[in-house]
Structure 1
């Protein structure tokens, strides 16, 4: 009996060790342990900073095994730029987190693949062009007018606002007006609950890379005991139902000759697909809900955080604020700036880009997946490896940006104090290239 038990334990140990074994010529990385691999080495936050430490220890490509699954962390300007353009790295991981938000299917824009991703992206780009920058700017101007009025009134009454809430409402209303033609406020409990959850998930700085996240991915049954995930799941459901309600209201009042917004445009394309029999499975209600979730989650957090951090840097660097105001006064006088004035506002553009650079809203690109066995930088990368690329490493590269930890808008100006577009095109990547 003891001998049998010994052999069973031995076989289980060897099996666990085998499935956690590093593939031949896979990039170096933290040590792997039987069954769990290198899960315990994964950081729960600030993945981009952990990647920088790993780059010094293991190199710019770091491989981590999580049980039978492989993860690749890429750090450094030339390596990230090459990886973002590599065709085999354009897949999206099929984790529980991602499939749950898209009804267990390959839906949306951010995490879709293949033909469906092409169709969704093409439609979104087409809508943006037809809807027009001018229409979007008009919506934004209305929101800005209301924000200014609110701030002006609050100063007279001595009222204090939470800055994040002010700009959250601006971001939400701008995107919701474009999507549905309607305004809403963050006082709507359904949308506020979910946006708070989306904000928490986005700000974590670990898009599916933390030890706990990976453990829950490897053993999804544990998710039911994780209160944070249950709260986020509930929030996602609430927003999905919020979108569904608006979409069905649009269906009931749709006039194909007079599209009002993004939802109308999508529903018209869905009708055309049914009439022609082409790509009919790509224009479903679930598709539109998931696309809405993609657009809302990304735009809400990025817009809100960027504006808040811009205000913060203006407070911390009053000399920059003074220069910025001087340029606005010299170029525009008392008139309000529009997108048409962009080419004249060189210092304003420099300040905006420096805020993007130093703060790096999304330090890690949304996770990618290797779609087939391939090689990269002479290393073997197996199919289905989940890939994390550090945009932060590009925007804080000491070989490109002098004193990258300092806030210096002048780095984006040329010798004539003009906005240096060439420098931006060569070295500035904010949210990623490729898919």
Structure 2
């Protein structure tokens, strides 16, 4: 995979453009910068203890960074697997990273070796905003306690059950009201869909929904979505690889500012709930947490995990994870219906035949196999978390013949699972028949893992599945989705990229 000097120069210029450095205008200037960073870093050290995974030879300063398409690194990893196999290593700067490719390999690691691959890699970008607390980026006893408590309480509050269904159906009416305001004229569905999905999780955690005209609510949702997109940007990727770049990366400042503003808003909401707290009547997750915190304080329990930081970060985790992923997937579904009108015809025919004009409910899912297949295929092709979130090995482990030392970053490449050519007939095509048998009945697929798997599987999976079904069927029942005037279905791009800003 040789590259010309000009290609290297272009990549260096791209990296430089992500940072707030005065432009040197020369390749030499950038190389000198990287040399300084390299001298500050510990460098890459060879493993001892067994045969390490194969991989491309790293450069002394930047590892394999120049090999990657920084806008679509998951595609580069997938291509590298064709040369080095389903388990290989790359160096992102000085940091060794093991990439797992394909359904069987990823499942073997996350499910059958859950303990060894079960911790989260808390990189610099996550530590910046106290992510050692909460659920998504914490480890050890804190993670176990917060995940156990959160999952138990969300279930008690009806997550994935009848209680959630009623909240979702109520929110659907508000969303349809927003759509109706446009009177059939072209509009961007992003904000109304995000507000609707955010209100579902808000009603569960805070005990009430918000009006779409509430500026504090809309700003909170918009900040959360911006933070997710910025956290996945190439500049933050570089910051995670070389933390010393932090002061020069504007996206780090964006994350910090958004986090500070969100925490101020959450604190105001929490204080309001604290003032009206009834220990015998929990209105939502925040109440349950505050009651537990209060009980621990009364009993004099030391080293309690129920404190302000854990509450704030857990709320942020729930709000961000419960908004961006579901909202983005739903919008993918609507776009795919506009791109493939014949598939939209099939969905609407099935809904009209089975449900008619009444409100769809979760029980209808089993009677709508084609619609269910379309939703699943949307999740598969949308592939909205292609790299998953990074894991880290908890101990030295020999995995499929390769030695991986403790503390190694591991990327379970979810895109390679959802598009594994040995598991899917048409991996790169929108093909709902992936989830239908010869009789047109819905079939589950083992390689359908959009929520990841193992210890770190998304705890909101049941809620997300319910939301996607109810929102999608309700919207398709009431509206026809088309491309804007002058835009054809062929113009709709199905390739997602990592934001470069």
Task: Say whether residues 1:338 and 2:364 are aligned partners.
Answer: no
Q: Is the 8 A contact 2:106 2:412 kept in 1?
A: yes
C-alpha distance 42-282 of structure 1, shift in aligned 2 (>3 A): farther
Q: Which of 365, 374, 397 is equivalent to 1:374?
A: 397
Q: How far apart are 1:301 and its partner, in Å?
A: 1.1
Structure 1 stretch displaced more, 188-197 or 237-246: 188-197
Task: Say whether residues 1:69 and 2:95 are aligned partners.
Answer: yes
C-alpha distance 15-136 of structure 1, shift in aligned 2 (>3 A): closer
Task: Tell me which residue corresponds to 2:494.
Answer: none
CA distance in 1, matches of 2:349, 2:439: 17
CA distance in 2, matches of 1:222, 1:241: 27
Task: Tell me which residue corresponds to 1:5.
Answer: none
C-alpha distance 279-148 of structure 1, shift in aligned 2 (>3 A): farther
Q: How does 1:420-431 map to 2 (within 5 A)?
A: 420-421=443-444, 424=445, 426-431=446-451
Task: Tell me which residue corresponds to 1:432.
Answer: 452
CA deviations over 1:414-434 (Å, ceiling 9, x no partner):
22221113xx2x221112111
SS at match of 1:110: coil
Task: Say whether residues 1:418 and 2:441 are aligned partners.
Answer: yes
Q: How far apart are 1:263 and its partner, in Å?
A: 0.6
CA deviations over 1:78-123 (Å, ceiling 9, x no partner):
1111111221111112322112222xx6311111112221211111
CA deviations over 1:10-55 (Å, ceiling 9, x no partner):
xx9x989983243243212232233543344344222221111111
CA deviations over 1:356-402 (Å, ceiling 9, x no partner):
11111211211111112222121111221111111111111111111
Q: Which of 225, 245, 253 is equivalent to 1:230?
A: 253
Q: Is the 8 A contact 1:172 1:184 kept in 2?
A: no
Task: Tell me which residue corresponds to 1:295.
Answer: 318
Q: Is the 8 A contact 1:368 1:386 kept in 2?
A: yes
Q: Which of 83, 88, 97 is equivalent to 2:116?
A: 88
For the aligned residue pairs, the C-alpha RMSD in angstroms reads 2.6
Q: How far apart are 1:269 and its partner, in Å?
A: 1.8
Q: How does 1:203-218 map to 2 (within 5 A)?
A: 203=229, 207=232, 210=234, 212-213=235-236, 215-217=238-240
CA distance in 2, matches of 1:27, 1:360: 26
CA distance in 2, matches of 1:218, 1:152: 46
Q: Which of 132, 142, 156 is equivalent to 1:116?
A: 142
Task: Tell me which residue corresponds to 1:29.
Answer: 55
C-alpha distance 137-16 of structure 1, shift in aligned 2 (>3 A): closer
CA deviations over 1:319-365 (Å, ceiling 9, x no partner):
22122122212222221101122221211111110101111121121
Q: How does 1:229-308 map to 2 (within 5 A)?
A: 229-276=252-299, 280-308=303-331
Task: Tell me which residue corresponds to 1:6.
Answer: none
Q: Which of 355, 360, 363 is equivalent to 2:383?
A: 360
Structure 1 stretch displaced more, 321-330 or 31-40: 31-40
CA distance in 2, matches of 1:108, 1:177: 20
Q: Is the 8 A contact 2:116 2:393 kept in 1?
A: yes
CA distance in 2, matches of 1:414, 1:275: 58
Q: How far apart are 1:318 and its partner, in Å?
A: 1.7
Q: Which of 178, 181, 184 is equivalent to 1:153?
A: 181
Q: Is the 8 A contact 1:48 1:364 kept in 2?
A: yes
Q: Is the 8 A contact 1:110 1:294 kept in 2?
A: yes
Task: Say whether residues 1:130 and 2:130 are aligned partners.
Answer: no
Q: How does 1:387-426 map to 2 (within 5 A)?
A: 387-421=410-444, 424=445, 426=446
Q: Which of 167, 170, 175 is equivalent to 1:142?
A: 170
Q: Is the 8 A contact 1:207 1:367 kept in 2?
A: no
Q: How far apart are 1:215 and its partner, in Å?
A: 4.2
C-alpha distance 111-230 of structure 1, shift in aligned 2 (>3 A): same
Larger helix proportion of the pair? 1
SS at match of 1:29: coil
* Structure 2: segments with no counterpart, 5+ residues: 1-35, 457-501
Q: Is the 8 A contact 1:16 1:35 kept in 2?
A: no
Q: How far apart are 1:168 and its partner, in Å?
A: 1.2
* Structure 1: segments with no counterpart, 5+ residues: 1-11
CA distance in 1, matches of 2:63, 2:288: 47
C-alpha distance 64-405 of structure 1, shift in aligned 2 (>3 A): closer
Q: How far apart are 1:66 and its partner, in Å?
A: 4.3
Task: Tell me which residue corresponds to 2:344.
Answer: 321
CA deviations over 1:156-210 (Å, ceiling 9, x no partner):
xx65432111101111212112111233356555555564454345447x858x5
Q: Which of 407, 413, 436 is equivalent to 1:384?
A: 407
CA distance in 1, matches of 2:143, 2:411: 20
SS at match of 1:266: helix
Q: Which of 169, 180, 189 is equivalent to 2:195?
A: 169
Structure 1 stretch displaced more, 351-360 or 329-338: 329-338
CA deviations over 1:39-74 (Å, ceiling 9, x no partner):
443442222211111111222222123455321111
C-alpha distance 257-224 of structure 1, shift in aligned 2 (>3 A): same
